[in-house]
Structure 1
Amino acid sequence: MALSESSRNSLIPSFLYSFASQKSSSLDAPNPTTTAFNGAGGSGGLSSSAARSSSFVVAAPSEPSRKIEMYSPAFYAVCTAGGILSCGPTHTAVTPLDLVKCNMQIDPAKYKSISSGFGVLLKEQGVRGFFRGWVPTLLGYSAQGACKYGFYEFFKKYYSDIAGPEYATKYKALIYLAGSASAEVIADIALCPFEAVKVRVQTQPGFARGLSDGLPKFVKSEGTLGLYKGLVPLWGRQIPYTMMKFVSFETIVEMIYKYAIPNPKDQCSKQLQLGVSFAGGYVAGVLCAFVSHPADNLVSFLNNAKGATVGDAVKKLGLWGLPTTGGVAPAAATGLAKA
């Protein structure tokens, strides 16, 4: 079922369709100025072509001269590229913090806090040790980001078409939740092998230097399917994380504009809009960390020990240890950087 133009516009960012809609409407609608002059029939009136040219809406200097058609191959390509740039480099940048967090989850007796964890790593491995596992991090989360953002837009349209114009507009939040969850399922399949190698490299010194020697060593030890033994816990970590990120971010930003800023969003400066987005992402990052931390512990545990199972993790960490081991603080800090 196809969406009506007005319903579809309510589901997508206005800057992607506003100019095109304005230009189209200005071309199709009668121009009062042209009608008035032509109706007069005077030779001194504006020519038809001149009057028609005056009806065009000219894009502001800050607007791109070419708009990408929604849900076209170019649109999905841009979303995919944006996902790569927004996930790969940001996750790589917080590799030291992620490394400390993983080690706190695996060996909390040795890595007791963020500060002491950095001290232990510095003493044992030097500064270079802080970025151990950065290659599988970069490649894995680039692949995850490409699938997450590209398929999110695909599933958002897919579910909107199924729901129909009325329900798609009425239940936009549910459309976003379903779209983000579906996209994350695919994204984690792309991420899982890299995440498995990353955790093993980061938590077992001497196992491997990085991806090039760590991947074949991991496969030789546990087989190809061993790369995916942490997939279900990874889904348990990333799917709630992504759903919480989209919903909380949108809700927080909406509340800020509604209760804290007197002017509508389109009347605010770009700097203020950026600040509001940063604040929304900051709080969303903390909430995401709380939701995903128990499953994050399972992912680290399963990928660190050969033959480990979820039952082994629960038995060792305990029900209370799952949401607390490794500290929510480093997890939240990591989530903030990634959000």
Structure 2
Amino acid sequence: MKRRWKILIGICGSLVALVGFGAVYIFTANPPPAEIVNAGPTGEKVNKDGVFGNFFPAMADKPRPAILVLGGSEGGLSTDVSRQARALQEVGYNALHLAYHNAPGKPGKLKNIPVEDFINALDWLKAQDSVDADQIGIIGYSKGAEAALLIATRYSGIRAVVAGMPSSVFWDGMSPENFIVSNGSSSWSEGGEPIASLPYGLPEDDVGMLSVFNKGLARVDEFPNAVIPIERYDGALLMVCGEIDNLWPSCQMAKDIEARARNKNGPPVTLLRYPEAGHGVMGIAADEKDRSIRIFAQMGGTAKANISARRDSWSKILLFFEQEFSKANSSFD
């Protein structure tokens, strides 16, 4: 028992060292409220039928493609992810920045989050007058990328998915007990039941959180149902990762997704890998003094490397969405 408490303290120390973006929230009984940014003059707050988020409608005279925008373990509606939604609106897309945990009416912890919440959000999005319901995409990073792949493998008609710093598996729920012993709690649920998930490993003092995920992945053969069935997704996939990600091994997991898609006749996959970037590899480039940029720099790479990767990857993300939506013609022209 003493050893388990030492392990728990060690994990907490590693998380505190990584600072915000949800890391510290994992180990608090009642996580403090996450950031909830305002929709601003070009958006509108949505809090209806279980959908909580900011909607940024396309400024167009006909229905346009729509993209569901998902943040990571920080929860709420963060500034960093809101920038992505606004940037998508600026180039002509509808964007729904969705809060799926640690927000009003949502679970505080990232455990057993219902896939139905995402499906409700997509249904709501498709019903908007400004949206072409046949042109739907998703973008998410970190746990949001895991969620994006969860949705894409269970909801038909998603044309394009962008997964930044992705996971190749569904992980156990993010709570103290799950980092000590798997207790049947998953990050996600379906029909009220936890989705099959991979337990975490125990941390090493000199590696911290990265070892928790690496050791979990070393046992993935024991939990085959935890592997994301990417072959069930019938759209196109773009992934972005940083080779110096020290939060979790996103590039290795991205390569695993790519290999499974190839071996199981899955979707076409494009992988963007940035050798000098870390867990902050994807998003909107900002000044080095920006809080989100500074925090992400503690999760691998340097602020300059992450900013450079963001500039390069974002232009390619926009091109990816443009190409995939234009294949289905209609509203994109």
TM-score range, shorter chain: under 0.3
More helix by share: 1
TM-score by length of 2: 0.28
**Higher RCO (C-alpha 8 Å, min separation 6):** 1
